[in-house]
Amino acid sequence: MMRMFALAPLLALVACSPTTSPQAGRGLFDQNCVQCHGKDARGGDTVPDLTGLALRAGGPYPQSMVLDKLDGYARGQAAYAGVEMPQFGYLLTGPLMRVELPDGMSREMPEKIVALDSYLRSIQRAGD
């Protein structure tokens, strides 16, 4: 019985893992993305504004598109004024986790990508 009580807080910790929090994503964003998308993620002439992902999608935050972009699957499908989003092998390293998607599917993803996704979701302007 004692065992179960001791486990409960541990399970709660795993559920909101610090490695996939928006804060963890922010750290990864600062290391890998600001040089193009900018510190405020607002992009520029040749790079899209990442606070407007939901607005541009005309509705909810487009999670599948973002995950495809970040794991390199959709790389080069949409060159923007001739600049391409690079592929980040580093983001594909480390532990994996299963992510439930809005369409009812689930996907195994690297935690680093999940963290970036939760950060991007947290900075969307109205329209999410």
Give contact residues for ligand HEC (rule: CB under 6 A). 29, 32-33, 35-37, 47-48, 50, 53, 56, 66, 69-70, 78-80, 83-86, 88, 116
Work out how close the CB of 88 gets to ligand HEC at its nearest, in angstroms, rounded to a whole number: 5
Work out how close the CB of 22 gets to ligand HEC at its nearest, in angstroms, rounded to a whole number: 12
**Residue 55 in contact with residue 20, Cβ under 8 Å?**
no
Burial class, 70, CB count within 10 angstroms (exposed 0-12 / middle 13-18 / buried 19+): buried
Q: Which is nearer to ligand HEC, 13 or 94 (CB)?
A: 94
| Separation of first and last alpha carbons in the chain | 44
Residue type, 39: K
Q: Which is nearer to ligand HEC, 29 or 111 (CB)?
A: 29
Q: Which is nearer to ligand HEC, 24 or 88 (CB)?
A: 88
Q: What angle is formed at CA 14 by the lines to CA 9 and CA 17, rounded to 5 degrees?
A: 125
